[in-house]
Structure 1
Amino acid sequence: MIELLLIGIGTGNPDHLTLQAIKALNSADLILIPRKGETKADLAELRRAICTDVLTNPAVRLAEFDLPVRDAANPDYRAGVDDWHDAIADTWRQAIRDGVGTAGRVALLVWGDPSLYDSTLRIAGRVATGFELNVTVIPGITSLQALTASHAIPINDIGAPFIVTTGRRLRDEGWPAGVNTIAVMLDGECSFRSIDAKGVTIWWGAYVGMAEEIILSGPLSEMSDRIVGTRARARADHGWIMDIYILRRA
């Protein structure tokens, strides 16, 4: 039996780890550290730093592996993602076999929480080939929680709903019907530029919860260009960027 621990680690701040996450990390036989290429080397370093900070069990081993890259040129977005997830699952499977064989407790550190716009659980469902697999999820602080905390705002108006969506859907489908507040994740195109900015406020953040955190807010009509420029500079400086934002219509 392989016990696969998917541990939400928040947004890069070791203080965001829950006691449950720390206990789970110390219970593992092996912690897998994915590498995403040279431009994102500090993401692996952050995972290693978190382990250094919280591990007290000397028997826990760390092993690194390289993640495959998604073919962004594939015109069929869903098919491209499915192929990518299959490739990642193959990589996980091999790393687990190399590390513990067919029995043991293996942990993966997941940015934010494995349940919110994250494909870790879907990939884990593809891994169970050649051994019995049991998945345990340890929830973590999400980037959405970290964003609202950094801006000191509630995400919803009193009694009002909100929608969490992606930049791709905002561009393709426009503002979702029936809500005045939307949270947008996975947006590499600054899709807020595709909507009518009149009466819209934006709360934007990059690297939220991390030492590099940048937050900006205000009327979208005034902040749009500033956020685009800030985002481009931050990505050039770090080689990568993780950002999220909330939009609210008056």
Structure 2
Amino acid sequence: MKVRLLGVGMGPQHVTAEVAHALRSCDYVVASRKAHDDELFAIRQAICDEHGVELVAVTDPVRDREPVDYPATVSAWHDARAAAYAEVIGARRGTAAFLVWGDPSLYDSTIRVVDRVAASLEAEWDVLPGVSTPSVLAARHRIVLHEVGHPVHITSARRLPEALVAGQTNIVVMLGNADDLATLDSLGDWWIWWGANLGTVAEELVSGRVADVLPELQDARARAKQSAGWVMDAYLLRGPR
């Protein structure tokens, strides 16, 4: 048995030649399915159809979205996912693939889960990179993520307050949500480059001084959700110099 983790960016248009070749060598793709109208599952189906590979749906284990102990809850969820995937792969055998949204190295836990799957099945596995969300964000806005001689800090929306307290002034924020946008009022003089559903037909982009564009940004986020039924947003925040 072999398991391949393939980064697919934001959809079929971002599948690299390397990933396409690897995908066609696989017997099937495994993907969690949250509901019958799971749009991200549908995008994976489109990729599989394009490359002639079967997509096998696995019901996604329920996850507590408001845990008391976040790390422990996520770890338990990963265990449940690994067990569900291992059951399917162990029964079907052959070479299985996982299509990872964006790049597997950044704010995605598929590597952690498949490490557990491979250990339980004694299967070999490898990882191929994909187009990351920050790289698409930067390309869409025609910017460099850091200024000359300055670093860039990448974090989740949940941990943005920590980054601000620590004095970070050039921050890529991933896994954004409507609530964290409401907290940006205090950063009125900062500049923001924001994008939702990057690389999809429901893509929305906004940039400018936070105080000037925040209402526009919130409207754009609502449009993205209405259009696609889901929202994945990311943004670069840069403080005044």
User: What is the TM-score normalised by the length of structure 2?
Assistant: 0.91
- One of 162, 167, 175 as aligned partner of 2:164: 175
1:83-102 map, 5 Å: 83-100=76-93
Q: What is residue 7 of structure 2 aligned with on the other side?
A: 8
Inter-CA distance 176–148: structure 2 relative to 1 (3 Å threshold): farther
Asked if the contact 2:118/2:125 (under 8 Å) is kept, the reply is no
**Deviation, structure 1 residue 73:** 3.2
Structure 1 runs of 4+ with >3 Å offset = 176-179
Deviation at 1:236, TM superposition (A): 4.0
Structure with greater proportional helix content: 2
1:5 partner letter: R
Deviations 1:39-88 (A, max 9, x none): 5x221111111122233xxxx43322211131113222122111111111
Structure 2 residue ranges without an equivalent (≥5)? none
**Superposed displacement of residue 98, structure 1:** 2.8
* Kept in 2: contact 1:74–1:80 (CA 8 A): yes
Deviation at 1:129, TM superposition (A): 5.0
Aligned to 1:235: 225
Match for 2:47: what amino acid? I
**Maintained 8 Å contact 1:63/1:99:** no
SS class of match (2:102):
coil
Cα distance in 2 for residues equivalent to 1:107 and 1:141: 17
TM-score, normalization by structure 1:
0.88
Cα drift, residue 184 of structure 1: 0.3
Report the Cα distance in structure 1 between the residues aligned to 2:146 and 2:120, rounded to whole angstroms. Answer: 46
What secondary structure is seen at the aligned counterpart in 2 of 1:80?
helix
Partner residue, 2:20: 22
Query: How far does the alpha carbon of each residue in 1:180-238 deviate from its partner, in whole angstroms, 9 at most, with x for none?
Result: 21000112244244353242011111110112111111111122233223323432443
2:241 maps to 1:248: no
Rounded to whole Å, the distance in 2 between the matches of 1:175 and 1:62 is 42
Matched, 1:204 2:194: yes
Q: 1:78-117 to 2 correspondence within 5 Å?
A: 78-100=71-93, 104-117=94-107
Secondary structure of the corresponding residue to residue 160 of structure 2 = helix
Percent of residue pairs bearing the same amino acid type: 39
Q: Find the partner of 1:118 among 101, 108, 118.
A: 108
> How much does 1:106 deviate?
0.8
Deviation at 1:113, TM superposition (A): 0.7
Q: Does 1:133 align with 2:132?
A: no
**Aligned residue-pair number:** 239
Partner Cα separation in structure 2 for residue 30 and residue 205 of structure 1: 32
Q: Please, which moves more after superposition, 196-205 or 235-244?
A: 235-244
